[in-house]
Amino acid sequence: MTDTAATTRLWGGRFRSAPDEALATLSRSDPSYFAMAPYDLAGSRSHARELHRADLLDDAELAMLLEAIDVLDGEYRRGEIQPNLEDEDVHTFLERVLSERLGAVGGKLRAGRSRNDQAANDLRLYLRDQVRRLAEATADLTDALLTQSRHHRATPAPGFTHLQPAQPITFGHQLLAHAHALGRDIDRLRDWDRRSARSPLGAAALAGSAIALTPEHSARELGYDRTCANSIDAVASRDHVAEFLFVGSMLAVDVSRLAEEICLWASRQFRWIALDDRFATGSSIMPQKKNPDIAELARGKASRLTGNLTSVLGVLKGLPLAYNRDLAEDKRAAFDTVETLLMVLPAMSGLVRTFVVDETELRAQATAGFTLATEIADWLARRGVPFSEAHEITGAVVQLCEERGVDLEDLSDEDYAGVDARLTPEVRTVLTVEAALAARSGQGGTAPARVDEQIRELVELVAEQRAWAAEYAGPRT
């Protein structure tokens, strides 16, 4: 005779005693994992139809199960029903409730499947759902960058290498560099989804099911492209989780790089932008402060997301086939990455959309630090001077400016000729920020016309990416 607690577990028939409390505590799912209930119920609907095809459920039993699943789904979403302490995991919780309500019919649902393929399916459905939300949130941030870029398509700004003033650029061009990176992140999400659209249902514990023999039907019902090709791989692999965590980490890193620049731009030393009060905080002791906390928090959380990737790779590297309980760690890392990004991305979108750019300050800094020096070298090179020689000549001009404490435009025609006779007065035609920007007119360059071109291309890309996210046919919850 089995103990009462065993009736709430999905295992235990061959055990003579109930689990020790320490084992039960360790084995029970983290409370957050029960959020997989809608995805588990989606899989249960498809599995019920599979059992009907296998003649394990008659028409009335199928209808009874589907109705009960729909009711339970609604109750869970409305917070009207929750797991109890005896429910080891989401699968135990849902089967217990269905069995309490339907009796033996509820217990029939377990035939032909295992928690192994259920767990794999739940997480795949969850992640395929969430990558659409992440794509949409990332597209919102890209749109915010595009809006600012339109306003500053021709606003001169200093471009940096090694965090030193290098050459003039437009501020719009700088913002679009971040937008392009985010566009690639969304493409990575799409590419991840293409590889992950494989249903593990029908794999059962590891060898495949002797009952659920047409899992391709369940795959279509759940929005997958096809089933997994190998039942062992279906339940044992989590490379799709690791790959998702990489994409999430890369997205967080790209956001972090933008966040770092915003921290610099908003500083008194740079003075490029002013943050909107709604997207900044103050100091508890210094009343004058306005802090870029959103950017700093985004920067900090990126490190945690790279840690999630590392932790799952560590779990996977030594596991024998097929399923092992170590794989339960996949949900913690996946949930945290999704939830963190869905907090960070909207906040960063608001921050970017609302900051105000000081165009006067940007223009003044655009030519500071001899950023137009390369124009002199290029001007000489176009007149037949070997660039190695032109580089040395221009360096001598900069030395002269530093000795006198002046800028390039402050030197006289005689000063230029004194450095090298080939530096004729015509060299002044290139020593303006507008000339420097216009000269970079090759594809991908900072010339305003090329910035406009980038904006148009990115607008089209974002529209396509949003359409992809919206067309998902899976059981989105």
Catalytically annotated residues? 162, 283
- How deeply is 23 buried, as exposed, middle or buried, from its count of CB atoms within 10 A (0-12, 13-18, 19+)? exposed
| Cα angle 9-12-17, degrees, rounded to a multiple of 5 | 110
Task: Check: CB of residue 51 under 8 Å from CB of residue 44.
Answer: no
Task: Check: CB of residue 436 under 8 Å from CB of residue 167.
Answer: yes
Listed residue (221, 243, 219) closest to 229, CA to CA: 219
Rounded CA separation 377/391 (Å): 6
At residue 159, the 3 state secondary structure works out as: strand
Phi–psi pair at 357, nearest 5 degrees:
-95, 135
- Number of CB atoms found within 10 A of residue 19's CB: 18
Rg (the chain; Cα; Å):
30
Listed residue (406, 451, 455) closest to 157, CA to CA: 451
User: What ranges in 159-230 are assigned the alpha helix state H?
Assistant: 171-196, 215-221
Rounded CA separation 58/221 (Å): 20
Give the end-to-end CA distance of the chain in Å, rounded to a whole number. 41
Listed residue (425, 443, 414) closest to 376, CA to CA: 425
Listed residue (186, 211, 190, 212) closest to 199, CA to CA: 212
- Cross-strand bridge partners of residue 198: 226
| Cα angle 464-136-216, degrees, rounded to a multiple of 5 | 75
Query: What tokens were used for 333?
Result: 């890392």
Amino acid at 101: R
Tokens 């960058």 sit at which residue?
A: 145
